[in-house]
Structure 1
Amino acid sequence: RTGSGVFGVIGIDLSERSMDAFENSVLLSILGECALAVENRRIALEKERATMQAQNEQLRANLLRTISHDLRTPLTSISGNASNLLSNGETLDTETRNKICTDIFDDAQWLIGLVENLLSITRIEDGRMNLQISPQLMDEMIEEALHHVNRKSCEHTITTQYGDEILLVNVDARLIMQVVVNLVDNAIKYTPVGSVIRISAYRKDHQVVVEVADNGPGIPDRAKAQVFEMFYTGQSRIADSHRSLGLGLPLCRAILTAHGGTLTLRDNVPNGSVFSFALPQSEVNIHE
């Protein structure tokens, strides 16, 4: 026991002989050390819980502050463009109206993508994401994902390369496609117009590896450890200032971790970045 209470009880069979004073003193010393160890462990766990709670509160505050700040720009843009159409729609030429409608559509799509990312990462963190696992071909998922990337992809050259082997994985196809979309959109945002984005998939050591490489300005070494943190956004001037809350990469890592996979970053040679993820390969069963 300690001053804060009793942690346990020990019983010793003394039917054959009793303890002498020395043995009794040693036993009490051992029990005292055990009690101190238990109390220290309890205090450490309480501190850990308090720290985690403080971090969660800080994370929640950062989320609200970041969203409140960054959503103002696209919402103001949507409201202003819609007001312009309502007030001056008849006097605007076709090209101007199309440009305004395109801006409204882009901002709305960005807001939808943000909400999807927020919902997904919240469910994964809370353990409420129910994975719909089934055998999927990686190349087919990549091709489907490319139909949903940022419309600005037409300003870049996107290429794909697959090996000759069958790349089969047991995954939730919707979530893995979201990973591919986020990685490609990220490359589009942080590389200049005309950059080349190369997507490749191949088998390595019983894993299926997917790489998204670009030839943009790359990521400084000092920032590599931060890119997977929530709310971290790169300082590249190329990026659209109101189109990155820093949720894409943390969400990708969370999704891949839930699938038993990994997400890594390395430099592209001679310039640019390569994001790659690996998933356990699924066996191909051929039924005759």
Structure 2
Amino acid sequence: MDKFALKSTKNQYLISFLSVTAVSLSCLIVRDIIDYRIVGYLLLVVVSLLAIFLEIKPVLLGAVLSALALNFMFIKPYFTLQIEKAEDIFLLVMYFIIALINAVLTNNFRRMQRAIQVKQTRASTLKLYNTLLDSLSHELRTPIAAILGSIDTLQQKNVKLSEETQQKLHNEIEKASMKLNYQVENLLNMSRLESGYIHPKLDWCDVKEIIYNVCDRLKEETKDHKITYAINENLPLFKLDYGLMEQIIYNLVYNCAQHTPKGATINISAKYEVDADYDTHIDLIKKCVITISDDGYGFPPEEIDKAFDKFYRFKTAKTGGTGLGLSIVKGFTEAQNGWITLHNADEGGAVFELSFVVDCLPINSLSHE
């Protein structure tokens, strides 16, 4: 680590030296046609740029070298450190002071930026940990208690349970396990997003299959809702990440089921769109568009812009939940070159629209394979 830091510092000194030297020699070629004050401005710009990218000591070296270069090569008499005019002495001194102040202030500003970033990162990490702990104490404890309670009842030897009761307990275990798995997956996915460890594995996906599989997994959660589909049977295959798409659809359908009253309808549509590229007027933009909507209460208009914020839960939301589901949807969508929009329908309910710029493969092209 020390050797690496030493090497990095040496490189910065070298960069500082070469930058000032390169600009000075370039200006020397045209010295007879430009005023030396302009050269001073150019060297000051170089010092300013060095202050943005380098540490303070290499920048100070650049400031000193630029002042010496200005005196030695551009203030008469040339190639000496002697200065004949008092105004040139004053100019050089002021240049040196300004260069030093500029270097120090820029460096301090960079240090303040880094400190703010570190503080924000720590605050975000602390918020994530607090949310994880809150989830462990509330969201995860409830399904775990249901599973343990049902298992304990099933294992009691002195109580004879009917087949109907046993089946009911098994269903409770399955339901609690699904909820537990959903919460754990959301927590793990948020950790992946926070760490930047999202690398989509794009492959040909059947969006219809993903939607139907997800809705089948959510049969228990949506048993009191009606799901309608508007999906073209000849929808082409799209190059997307199957796992990420499953989680996106799952979170959105689950969200609609959790925040709409019993009997509400959840509408799912998927279509293929081709738009003209207005930059080239020739190329076509191929898009996969998935819309998931409901006829529930919708989102509070004053809070709808915060729907995809991490950890945010609406004031009218029922107790429970981590506020991670929709932020994960947004992160996974953007990771696949897509975007998501949300608005309330005129007749009531929320409308989520997912758009992905993708490669597509028509189904009929596979008929002979």
Q: 1:110 to 1:39 in 2, by over 3 A?
A: same
In terms of fraction of residues, the more helix-rich structure is 2
TM-score by length of 1: 0.86
* 1:231 equivalent among 307, 311, 316: 311
Q: For residues 51 and 123 of structure 1, what CA distance do their matches in structure 2 show?
A: 18
Task: Return the offset for 1:250.
Answer: 1.4
Q: Identity across aligned pairs (percent)?
A: 26
Task: Return the offset for 1:216.
Answer: 0.8
Q: Name the SS for the 1:9 alignment partner.
A: helix
Q: Name the SS for the 2:61 alignment partner.
A: coil
With a CA cutoff of 8 Å and minimum separation of 6, indicate the structure with the bigger relative contact order: 1
Alignment-derived partner of residue 208 in structure 1: 288
Q: For residues 89 and 230 of structure 1, what CA distance do their matches in structure 2 show?
A: 49
Task: Return the offset for 1:219.
Answer: 1.3
Contact in 2 for aligned 1:233/1:245 (Cα 8 Å) = yes
Contact in 2 for aligned 1:67/1:245 (Cα 8 Å) = no
Alignment-derived partner of residue 9 in structure 1: 61
| Structure 1: runs of 5 or more not aligned | none
Task: Return the offset for 1:200.
Answer: 0.9
1:91-124 per-residue CA deviation (whole Å, 9 max, x = no partner) reads 3333333222211211111111222222223223
Q: Name the SS for the 2:290 alignment partner.
A: strand
Q: For residues 169 and 114 of structure 1, what CA distance do their matches in structure 2 show?
A: 28
Equivalent position amino acid for 2:98 in 1: I
Alignment-derived partner of residue 108 in structure 1: 177
Contact in 2 for aligned 1:160/1:199 (Cα 8 Å) = yes
Q: Which one is further off, 153-162 or 58-67? A: 58-67
Contact in 2 for aligned 1:190/1:236 (Cα 8 Å) = no
1:158 aligns to 2:235 (yes or no): no
Q: For residues 59 and 125 of structure 1, what CA distance do their matches in structure 2 show?
A: 9
Q: For residues 261 and 291 of structure 2, what CA distance do their matches in structure 1 show?
A: 20
User: Which has the higher Rg, Structure 1 or Structure 2?
Assistant: 2
Alignment-derived partner of residue 22 in structure 1: 90
1:92 aligns to 2:161 (yes or no): yes
Q: 1:231 to 1:101 in 2, by over 3 A?
A: farther
Task: Return the offset for 1:78.
Answer: 2.0
Q: For residues 253 and 312 of structure 2, what CA distance do their matches in structure 1 show?
A: 17
Q: 1:38 to 1:236 in 2, by over 3 A?
A: closer
Task: Return the offset for 1:180.
Answer: 0.6
TM-score by length of 2: 0.68
1:197-248 per-residue CA deviation (whole Å, 9 max, x = no partner) reads 10112234332211100001111123323332333344557x6x55x33222
1:170 aligns to 2:239 (yes or no): yes
Alignment of 1:1-288 (within 5 A): 6=57, 7-10=59-62, 11=65, 12=69, 14-15=72-73, 16=78, 20-35=88-103, 36-87=105-156, 90-163=159-232, 166-204=235-273, 205=275, 206=285, 207-234=287-314, 241-242=319-320, 244-284=321-361
RMSD over aligned Cα atoms: 2.9
